[in-house]
Amino acid sequence: AQSVAQPEDQVNVAEGNPLTVKCTYSVSGNPYLFWYVQYPNRGLQFLLKYITGDNLVKGSYGFEAEFNKSQTSFHLKKPSALVSDSALYFCAVRDVAAGNKLTFGGGTRVLVKP
């Protein structure tokens, strides 16, 4: 069975500082990995995905993520955080053999302070 862990419930960072949101995963085969962001009272918005190829994936709003197969990690990063980045971030994994079923991590709340 596939699983995703986001070890931090909340990350606090000052505006302009680097932001990192951690994610580790477990899946039997090759993973499809995703990051989504959720703003208050909204659904999830896609940020980026890793399917294959370059381990560094660039996504929306200046976010990027690094796939590390040996550590089974897919951490989300942004070089310079904005107050508007404050939101709930979800890492997700899709088992290639399981259609469109996504398994999500518990979410990490990011608070960027001015």
Which residues contact other proteins (rule: CB under 8 A)? 32, 34, 36, 41-46, 49, 51, 90, 94, 96, 98-107
We find the least distance from the C-beta atom of residue 6 to other proteins, in angstroms, to be 9
DSSP run (H or E) holding 35:
strand 31-38
Report, in Å, the least distance between residue 99 CB and other proteins: 5
Distance in Å, CB of 14 to other proteins, minimum: 27
- Could you give the CA distance from residue 11 to residue 1 in angstroms, rounded to a whole number? 28
Closer residue to other proteins (CB): 3 or 71: 3
CB of 114 to other proteins, least distance (A): 27
Nearer to other proteins, 79 or 106 (CB): 106
Nearer to other proteins, 8 or 15 (CB): 8
Contact present, 8 and 107 (Cβ < 8 Å): no
Q: DSSP letters of 48-80?
A: EEE-SS-SEEE-GGG-EEEEETTTTEEEEEESS
Assess contact for 63 and 35: CB atoms under 8 A.
yes
